[in-house]
Structure 1
Amino acid sequence: MDDQALERARKRVAESRETRFETTRMEAALVRARAQIDALTAAADELQSQLPDQVGLAVEEGLRRQVVPVARTLAEIKGLVNQANRRLERLEQEVLAERAARIDDLSVLVDLVASGWRGVDERLRRIEQHGAEAETGGVVPLPPGARSADAATHSAYAQAG
């Protein structure tokens, strides 16, 4: 056998070893990649099954943390509104009582004015009756101690001047 043929044979063997080594490395890398893809798929499946529950629990906890202070604030507001309603009702009762008292006062004033006008009407009637008698010649004397309006005005001007 000739040396060149032997050398070519050795090269082919070396090349096939290198190729086989590369192929083996490639196959090993593919096996590892498949194993990692399977692990990733398993993790994704696990997350997919657990994630909605965990998100739900996280949302519930967050809402609970936010709702408790809001509920407390709403309770305080409700208490203040109820207190304001009670105060408004009390004010309304006081206003109604005050209104009733003013109506009673007005009624008393109307009665006083009406009785005063009845007195004036009675006096005018008597004056008219006396006036009718005066036309027939009767003189109506002033009561003792009474001064006429002109005399009172004249003496007031005299004192001021």
Structure 2
Amino acid sequence: MDEQALERAKRRIAEAREGRREEARFEAALQRSREEVEALGRVAAALAAAVPDRVGDAVQEGLRREVLPVARNLGEIRGLLNNVIGRLERLEQELIAERNARLDDLTLLVDLVSSGWRGVDGRLQRIESAAGGEVVPLRSEHVAAAS
């Protein structure tokens, strides 16, 4: 064998060994990458399972903080409105009672006036019948002076 051929063969063997080392390093790096990707996948799955619950809890807590004072205010407003409605109902009842009392007063007044005129009418009839049916009309100057 030729020395040069032997050297070339040794070089090729060394290069092949070097290539194997590079390939082994590449395979090891690839294996580590796969393991890290799998670990990342597990972490992502755990986060995907936990995030909705955490977000839901955070939203509920935020709503509790913000809605509770509003709910209190609405409760106060509802109580005040109920109070106002009650007062308005009482005022309405009092107004209706007052109106009915005024109507009763007016009815009584009309009855009194009409009975008074009936009495006057009755007296005039008695006077006319006592006078024998002859009634002397008043002169116009007496009527104008009386007004």
- Give the aligned partner of residue 95 of structure 1: 95
Paired residue for 1:42?
Answer: 42
1:90-145: CA deviation from partner (whole Å, max 9, x where unpaired): 211211221122122112212222122212321341354256442xxxx86x9xxx
> What are the ranges of 5 or more consecutive residues in structure 2 without an aligned counterpart?
none
1:11-160 alignment runs, 5 A limit: 11-130=11-130, 132-134=132-134, 148-151=139-142, 153=144
Deviating 4+ runs (over 3 angstroms): 130-133, 151-154
User: How far apart, in 2, do the equivalents of 1:126 and 1:35 lie?
Assistant: 132
1: distance between equivalents of 2:140 and 2:123? 18
What letter corresponds to residue 65 of structure 2 in structure 1?
A: R
CA distance in 1, matches of 2:95, 2:27: 97
Partner in structure 2 of residue 159 of structure 1? none
Query: Which piece of structure 1 moves more, 67-76 or 4-13?
Result: 4-13
For the residues of structure 1 that align with 2:9 and 2:52, how far apart are their CA atoms? 64
Q: Give me the identity figure in percent.
A: 57
Separation of aligned partners in 2, 1:105 and 1:151: 36
Report which stretch shifted further, 121-130 or 16-25: 121-130
Instruction: Give the corresponding residue for 2:10.
Output: 10
TM-score when normalising by structure 2: 0.80
Q: Deviations over 1:36-88 (max 9, x none)?
A: 12211221232244334322321221221122022112112211211111211
Structure 1's unaligned 5+ residue stretches are 157-161
- 2:141 aligned partner, one-letter code: D
Q: Secondary structure at the match of 1:35?
A: helix
Residue identity in the other structure for 2:99: R
Ranked by relative contact order (alpha carbons within 8 Å, sequence separation 6 or more), the top structure is 1
Structure 2: distance between partners of 1:116 and 1:148: 25
For 2:133 and 2:68, the matched residues in 1 are separated by 96
Q: SS of 1:73's equivalent?
A: helix
Return the letter of the residue paired with 2:77: I
Q: For 2:117 and 2:133, locate their aligned partners in 1 and report how far apart those are by CA, in whole Å.
A: 24
In the TM superposition, residue 152 of structure 1 has moved relative to its aligned partner by 6.3
